[in-house]
Amino acid sequence: MENSITFKDIKKGNYSSIYHLIYQNEKLSKQEIANQLHLSLPTVTQNLVRLEKEKLIEKRGQLESSVGRRATAYAICPKARISIGVEIQKKTVQILAIDLLGQAIQQERLTRDYANEDRYYKEVSQAVKSFITSLDVAQEQVLGIGFAVQGLTSNDGKKITYGKILISTGLDIQVFSKYLPYPCMFLHDAKCAATTELWVRNDIGDAVYLSIGPHLGGAIIINSQIYMGKEGHSGTVEHMTIDPDGPACYCGKKGCMETFSSVNALLDEDETLEFFFQKVRSKIPSYVKRWNSFLDHLAISINNIHLVLNREFILGGYLSPYLTEEDIETLHEKVNEKTAFPSNAPFIYISHSPVKGVPLGAAIPFIQSFLNEI
């Protein structure tokens, strides 16, 4: 039996098209919507009334006009739905709420020592509930909660499939969701940072994203989507072997990229990035030498990956705010010294993501799902 488009499908399509058109524009009039979507004014009016009744859009002033009456402007209600991102770290928990435009509307940082105990999961869940209560939103407005973790997660976000830094392999999202009346899922923190990068930029097709924080993380972006691979560990370049006789990695192997190209590998104990780069920019020889050594190892890794994936590289994470264009030029030079295929065309860039990119990226998938389904 052939598939056929029903009147109901057409109505849903019009409803979706009108909402998405308004979403993509700051303000639109009824006539502009009708013209751009080639719909009749009665059809547009009917859908605008429905969207307004559902509090997804609102009238927002009037548009400028050189002739006649000024038309009523329609815009989306950004806070009609919100999403929550939670970044779990060893000693802290960051909670962030975003609206439908992906804008942060509130955030909170808590001091909590991680422990694989019910007490910890309950405390964090209660903190998240209190945070949501402070937002003064109805339960149905909350799309879900994404928990960003230092570990690989199943594609459905229900389990930790590989966790050796903090959260253990096999942990189920139930440890949080049993205390929270919202959809919950785990997400790999590096993938969250890459998700934010994709959200704030519309010019990424294919790229390799490196999140350089206390630990290193990576993500492969193909056709503007994060490629997870068959078992979910595509992009985990942090465990690529750079020197088989190198330092021990938390994975149990030696000489992984993690042991040369993470912030932990760069800094001495109790040293901060701010302090380190103050010394580097002041040209203190010992610090400049350490920084050059770090860039040398990073260049080796980038060259190896670039030989397999001849795409742009985006450097993000805790390190990115301290990077300068001069650093990137030096890195390009070091890669060209090592590669069999030197090129003058730049391919390494500094991330555009905000510092809060990880919790933001943990919240974004729920917004994306809502927009895809409306």
Q: List, run by run, the mean pLDDT of 10-residue segments along the chain (374 residues).
A: 56 90 94 95 95 95 73 95 96 97 96 95 98 95 97 92 88 97 96 94 91 94 90 89 95 96 96 98 98 98 96 95 97 96 93 90 97 93
Q: Is residue 87 part of a domain?
A: yes
Cα distance between residue 90 and residue 112, in whole Å: 8
Residues 345 and 368 in one domain: no
Same domain, 52 and 71: yes
In Å, what is the CA distance from 293 to each residue of 49, 296, 333, 334? Answer: 62, 5, 14, 11
Token pair, residue 352, equals 């555009």
* CATH classification of the domain holding 32: 1.10.10.10
One domain, residues 272 and 179 = no
- Predicted pLDDT of residue 168: 83
Q: Are residues 221 and 324 in the same domain?
A: yes
Q: Are residues 207 and 101 in the same domain?
A: no
How confident is the model at residue 331, as a pLDDT? 97
> What pLDDT score was predicted for residue 167?
82
Tally of structural domains, the chain: 3
Same domain membership, residue 108 and residue 219 = no
Q: Are residues 171 and 37 in the same domain?
A: no
- Give CA angle at 351 (347, 352), nearest 5°: 120
Range list of β-strands (E), 155-252: 160-162, 184-188, 207-212, 216-222, 225-227
CB neighbours of residue 201 within 10 Å = 15
Q: Among 76, 98, 130, which residue terminates a domain?
A: 76
Same domain, 226 and 268: yes
Question: Smallest Cα–Cα separation from 208: which of 221, 194, 225?
Answer: 221
Query: Could you tell me the pTM of the whole model?
Result: 0.89
Residue in 267, 274, 319 with CA at minimum distance from that of residue 293? 267
Q: Hunting for tokens 């990424």 — which residue is that?
A: 204
Partner residues linked to 75 by β-bridges: 58
Torsion of CA 302, 245, 254, 222, to 10 degrees: 20
Q: Is residue 261 part of a domain?
A: yes
Domain that holds residue 286: 203-350
E strands in 47-183: 57-62, 72-76, 82-88, 92-98, 104-111, 142-149, 152-153, 160-162
Which runs of E-coded beta strand occur in the chain? 57-62, 72-76, 82-88, 92-98, 104-111, 142-149, 152-153, 160-162, 184-188, 207-212, 216-222, 225-227, 312-316, 348-350
Our CA angle for 155, 156, 159, nearest 5°, is 90
Are residue 228 and residue 336 in the same domain, yes or no?
A: yes
Residue 2 counted as domain residue: no
Look up the CATH number of the domain holding residue 231.
Answer: 3.30.420.40
105: CB partners within 8 A, 6+ apart = 79, 82, 97, 98, 99, 135
Instruction: Give the whole-angstrom CA distance, residue 249 versus residue 266.
Output: 14
**Is residue 308 domain-resident?**
yes
Whether 319 and 214 share a structural domain: yes
Distance CA 56, CA 53 (A): 8
Tell me the one-letter amino acid at 230: K
The string of DSSP codes covering 12-65 is HHHHHHHHHHHHHSS-B-HHHHHHHHT--HHHHHHHHHHHHHTTSEEEEEE---
User: Which of 57, 76, 95 is the last residue in one of the domains?
Assistant: 76
Apex 263 CA angle, 260 and 269, nearest 5: 100
Domain boundary (50, 76, 102) is at 76
Q: Exposed (0-12), middle (13-18) or buried (19+): which is 118, by Cβ within 10 Å?
A: exposed
Same domain, 254 and 338: yes
Q: For residue 232, tell me if it sits in a domain.
A: yes
Query: Among 258, 255, 260, which Cα is nearest to 245's?
Result: 255
Does residue 160 form part of some domain?
A: yes
Q: Does 198 fall in a domain?
A: no
Q: Are residues 364 and 305 in the same domain?
A: no
DSSP SS3 for 188: strand
* CA dist., res. 283 & res. 301, Å (int): 25
**Residue 275 in 3-state DSSP?**
helix
Q: Please state at what angle helix 30-37 crosses helix 41-53, rounded to 10 degrees.
A: 120
Q: Largest Cα–Cα distance of the chain, in whole Å? A: 78
56: in domain: yes
**Cβ-defined contacts of 331-334 (< 8 Å, 24+):** 331/295, 331/298, 331/299, 331/302, 334/295, 334/296, 334/298, 334/299
